Chain A
Amino acid sequence: MKDFGYTINRDRQIDYDALPRDVYHQLKKMEPSVNACISCGTCAATCTAGQFTDFSLRRYILLLRRGDNSEVIKNIDKCMLCGKCMLACPMGVNTRNVIQSIQLIINKL
């Protein structure tokens, strides 16, 4: 074919079906209340670990929902399980079991 000097751009799309959301699916089974999370960020605001490092449960739930697991896997063990996030969560999400479950799921991987 003659080269007219045009290029065809590849489609820029995010293929959600290709993302590995199985961690989040398993998390939903183990702790159904994670569905109620509205990403308000109160948990991250009160977080004890968050005073010293980059730990944000709000962010991690969002990332898992998008299938972006790597940052979560690296950081999830930083939680002290202190319970402040659970006391603060307005939706009654069992945040401590969310973290515990993520740790269990990741351990099996």
Chain B
Amino acid sequence: MHKFDPFVLPFTLGLIFLAGCLATKYFTWVKNLPGEEKTKIKKGIFTLKSLKALQEVFSESLLHRKIFKVNPLLGYMHASLAFGWFLLIAAGNVESRFFYHGHSSPPYIPIFFRFFQPHPTNFRYEGLFSFIMDLLLLIILTGVALAWFKRLYSKYFGMKKTTVLLLGDRLALSSLWVIFPLRFLAESFTSASYGGGHFLTSNAGAFLGSFLPAQQLVYPTWWAYSLALGIFFAALPFSRYMHIPTEVLLIFLRRYGVSEKKVTTSFTNIEINSCSRCGVCIDPCQLASVANIKGVQSVYHLQSIRNQATCEDQSMNCLMCGRCDTICPVGIDIKSIRMAQRKQQAIQKENAFSYVSKINVKKADVIYFGGCMTNLLPSVKKSMIDILKEAEINYWFMDETDSICCGRPLMLAGKEAQARELMLKNKALINASGAKTLVTSCPICFKVFNEEYKLNIEVLHHSQYLLRLVEAKQITINRLNTRAVYHDPCELGRGSGIYDQPRKLLNKILHLNSSSQEKENALCCGGSLANLKIASDERKKITLHALQTLTANNPDALITACPACKKTFAISAPITVMDIAEVLSKSMVRKDRRQINRVKIRQDVPEEVEAG
């Protein structure tokens, strides 16, 4: 039985090149991981984690379940290509194993089986296999057709915008797209000339053979098919399709606990090469969808890093809202990668704040840290103080006067050395106070206190602390006759995972509407401190769009738990905007009745409802 023909060479050489390229890269990347990450791999490799990783490879890399959630047609397109091709290769290998009675064959044999054995007479399973192969080929061809259609009309796939591809990716894409039509033609012409094939290739062969010289076209089309495969394999490591093998590696490493660090590591290389440039991250990005800011979205940022062409204008023009991070089907840790880039690009300076003079410390049980933004909102400050006084808490309002920033805005700008200096100063004050609890009314401060300061005391966001006070009956409430909507701040919601406690507190006070975009899907108010580049009119567009969504079912008030969000919304909102502390202060039963908060939310509705 002949098992070789020169036409297999492009495929085989391409495959050898690809295998060598991947082996070198993956070996280097894994070898260069930080020591503690390599230990995690060693510990995890012979445990259940490897099985879970395999399961994830099946459900995401092959079936693309996360993409089905974005849009079913989009999911089918990706799955038919990925899973279809995988099954085609697998079935082809099984077919040739059966045919050659278990003897091993060169790797190209399963791929080009129909060339070498177009219509084997003594093969018991020929009918079954040729049916399976034809069916799989048909599924893949529908996927290719959809992929081509998506380039023209992406909106039918639930994507208003899709990735703008560079030339290299377009070439790789073209070679990928012709592989399966060429296989289809090669097998059809073979079927027309030598028989064999099943419902797809046999009928197509008969049809094409009726007006084309099928026998002459057999050999050229098999050559073309091999060339297309060879070109695709050669281009793969340098294109978006590197994600195909790399995301498998990523899934395994992630299961073992390997993760991004504050600085770029070789794990970052693995993540950025796992980005398929699918473009699903573009629509959720409000910079793209509302403010028409292009070229800065995660897909392009990761591409810039891969091409070693990052710039400050791109990495700093991001709200760090996390909407892209949440929807990424590959689960790339986009936010950490961007933060590491910002840190790399920033100018680190030591002792920039030696001018900060001694700040007086007060001993207390609870420290209330307003934050820079809260300090510009007197009503929020007053509400918090009223509540703390009413509950008779022994508190210290740490940044009432002579305050320094918590340090997170500097961190978001990549200036870690400067941030650490402020953090050290604040930490000394916090420790000196002897307090057991730190409460802050700003989610930006909360995130840095919780994650970076490494304090020995409890750190709470004020929505959590206020809920605790109410549940412990240290504060009693009269319900308000108001319908309101709650806005999840980016840093509190996606940033810290706190969605339910503010809602639990608000539900005790008034009637909460839900919003079409809430919790993990909440929109950003546009006031983000993480974006240094966006202009004020661009921010306004984002704010107005977010307001439109939030006020869709006509609430009386918009409630948020972040001073930056409150200030951003209050300037443009058609309804009252209140912080959660103000709402509680308003509904709070005060021992001293003279202290009642007189601001009305709605003029035509009686405000207080008799406590039940």
Known: A53-B355, A88-B376, A100-B532. A80 touches B422 (CB 8 A): yes
A103-B347, A107-B347 known; A83 vs B404 contact (CB < 8 Å): no
Chain B proximity of A53: nearest CB distance (Å)? 4
Task: Find chain B residues with CB under 8 A from A77 CB.
Answer: 349, 352, 418
**Choice from A48, A92, A97 contacting B404 with Cβ under 8 Å:** A48
Contact between A81 and B535, CB atoms less than 8 A apart = no
Chain A residues near B352 (CB-CB < 8 A): 77-78
B415 at the interface (CB under 8 A from A): yes
* Docked complex Cα distance between A107 and B405 (Å): 24
Given the interface pairs A48-B404, A78-B352, A107-B347, the reply to whether A83 lies near B536 with Cβ below 8 Å is: no
Which residues of A lie under 8 Å from residue B415 when comparing CB positions?
81
Name the residue among B349, B529, B532 with the largest chain A CB count within 10 angstroms. Answer: B532
* B533 CB within 8 Å of chain A: yes
A96 within 8 A of B: yes
In residues 69-98 of chain A, which contact B (Cβ within 8 Å)? Answer: 77-78, 80-84, 87-88, 92-94, 96-97
Within the complex, what minimum Cβ distance (angstroms) separates A57 from chain B?
Answer: 15
A9 within 8 A of B: no
Q: A81-B415, A84-B376 are in contact. Are A92 and B537 (CB under 8 A)?
A: yes
Complex contact B404–A87 (CB within 8 A): no
CA distance A88 to B373 in the complex (A): 10
Asked if A83 contacts B347 (CB within 8 A), the reply is no
Is B356 interfacial (CB-CB < 8 Å)? Answer: yes
How many residue-residue contacts, CB under 8 A, span A and B?
75
Q: Are A46 and B532 in contact (CB under 8 A)?
A: no
Docked Cα-Cα span, A96 to B372, in Å, equals: 14
Chain A interface main SS type: helix
> How far apart are the CA atoms of A80 and B418 in the complex, in Å?
8
* Chain B CB within 10 Å, residue with most, of A77, A82, A97: A82
In the assembled complex, how far is the CB of residue B347 from the closest CB belonging to chain A, in whole angstroms?
Answer: 5
- A83-B372 contact given A104-B312, A104-B347, CB 8 Å threshold: yes
Q: Which of B407, B409, B418, B422 contacts A83 (CB 8 A)?
A: B409
Residue of B nearest to A101 (CB): B532
Q: Which residues of B contact A104 (CB under 8 A)?
A: 312, 347
- Given the contacts A46-B376, A48-B404, A103-B347, A81 and B409 also touching, CB distance less than 8 Å: yes
The residue in chain B whose Cβ has the minimal distance to the Cβ of A51 is B402
Interfacial residues of chain A within 37-53, with CB under 8 A of chain B in the complex: 46, 48-49, 51-53
Could you mark each residue 358-385 of chain B with 1 if its beta carbon is under 8 Å from any beta carbon of chain A, else 0?
Answer: 0000000000000011011000000000
Chain B 396-428 interface 0/1 with A at a Cβ cutoff of 8 Å (1 = within): 000000111101011001010010001000000
Contact in complex: B373, A87 (CB < 8 Å): yes
8 residue pairs from A and B, CB less than 8 Å apart: A49-B355, A51-B402, A52-B356, A78-B353, A80-B422, A83-B529, A87-B567, A104-B347
